[in-house]
A and B are shown apart, each in its own frame.
Chain A
């Protein structure tokens, strides 16, 4: 049981890691970014590319991927998403299309094969924390997701951009009246969310198969986390990632991983139906 609790924690931290970027975009702009999983994939390929051609150390790939996918996110907002704010369903479709395009571009440049990312030696094997053996890599994933979370909190609550962003998310029209360049803020938000997806991709590349189609499962996972956590609360996202990680792990232990996944999806459906604002969201939108 302790084992499955620990594994729940580690699944939860992966969920938090991949969901953060989606949370930022969806929570503040209401846009469902279906290309999110493919931005995670892109982050993983940034790692492959930087390792193989530039020989960048693994952890340094984090900022690289963040900047790269972030800039791409900025471009996507400028070129496509911006035109669709009045048609919410169509943003979903358009970002899905963008995801397909990203996948195919990667596939044409890197090929379809599984890429292999080498992980620094100190991140393989186990680390002993208070007498319990923990997979070092999972520990690293946990630490990185906490660090990114703190980073997002800092941006939202300590910076000028963060303040404007919160204002725009509450009421774009009034924000505009107060002289906030709403378009600018939205573009930066999208860039931030995309950048976080890229950073998540770096960590994911260390324990998962890196290939063009790897993103599709992450978009579903992240969406469940955000929906269950509630759209506008970071704390809710954290709680939801922990809860879902735990449920997944316990269900997997009781039945199998597949049924655990199905249960998570059913849970998400029920939450949408009965708690449209999420389980952990205190404030209304």
Chain B
């Protein structure tokens, strides 16, 4: 019995994917590819945060780029202040080079107050997680207690990322605007330097990705996870059972934002760069596309979707002749998936898997029902349908 369990665990898609992520670099010699695979995993983490928020809690955020970007900026601000360039400006405090550019002639140089706490790397790292989470909590509180739902949440989040992007570009003297923050110090934590082209950085990202994959899977099996899905299936009924649905939604949304912020932090470790283009509408939509194509309900699908689309995108854009058609291809694939495969490629895979091993599902279904009964929550019947009831 135990052996069977171990075997099932070993062969579960989660274990296989995690193992693959962890052993890939042993076969890759080129440091550039180590770095690039790390980048894809960063995007996978971002897709995981979207799968949590959209797939599990039913909140389609079109503004996840805002959380990703905030995380990246917080981290980049700290690393910018630690870079040799900022330390050698001839001022008693570290000063980012662009501030000298943007200070009008004749005015004294000073570190803007927003930057001051970021001289501490620990603060920057904590802020990279907490700023997006708190921002999401405030937005969530504002939105979910107002009874805003469905499409309107998407629109509000979309508007938020547009606003944030506009403000960051406009506040050029503080943020360096369109140019963003670059020329950063390498990420050095307690003496370990995470060279973006080396294995430590890769394993930092890969390790976090694997932990999140397993952690979110666990979360899905808890009471909260069950409620997320129940809310998605029938929000009103869950409310009648006495649950404060808004609290659960805010929790899911903030946790998702925190993970997106973490992805932003890791993005900076990997790319040594942050700019408004990583907190704009197109990256927000890109995450949705990865997650939709991979399978919005499936954590594995989200990771694979991000890996596959980014891989394909780079392969096509570096192939020369296809550089101009990849966006068209992605557009077509996206429309087809949304219309015909709402559960994405993971849904397709799961159907095939179930077809081959019909007994696997049979074991799990009663357990889910029993658990739901304990919680007196209706089992979501059609949780793959993301049809939102709204106003």
Contact = CB atoms under 8 A, between A and B. Distances in A.
Interface in A97-116: 97-98, 100-101, 103-105, 107-108
A221 to B, nearest CB: 11
A42 to B, nearest CB: 15
Contacts of A80: 335, 339
B154 A104 contact: no
A101 B332 contact: yes
B342 interface: yes
B167 A104 contact: no
Contacts, number: 114
Contacts of B387: 86-90
Contact count band on A: 35 or more
A92 to B, nearest CB: 6
A225 to B, nearest CB: 13
Contacts of A98: 331, 335
Contacts of B167: 258-259, 262
Given A87-B386, A104-B328, A227 B170 contact: no
Interface stretch (A163-171, A178-186, A189-197, A270-278): A270-278
B193 interface: no
Contact count band on B: 35 or more
Contact of B334 (A97, A266, A273): A97
B204 interface: no
Contacts of B330: 100
A104 B331 contact: yes
Given A87-B387, A258-B169, A266-B163, A97 B338 contact: yes
Interface of A: 32, 80, 83-84, 86-90, 92-94, 96-98, 100-101, 103-105, 107-108, 216, 220, 223-224, 227, 256, 258-259, 261-262, 265-266, 268-269, 272-274, 276, 285
Cβ-closest 9 pairs across A and B: A100-B331, A97-B335, A104-B328, A101-B331, A97-B334, A258-B170, A265-B159, A273-B146, A94-B338
Interface of B: 60, 142-143, 146-148, 150-152, 154-156, 158-160, 162-163, 166-167, 169-170, 281, 285, 288, 292, 324-325, 327-328, 330-332, 334-335, 338-339, 342, 385-388, 390-391
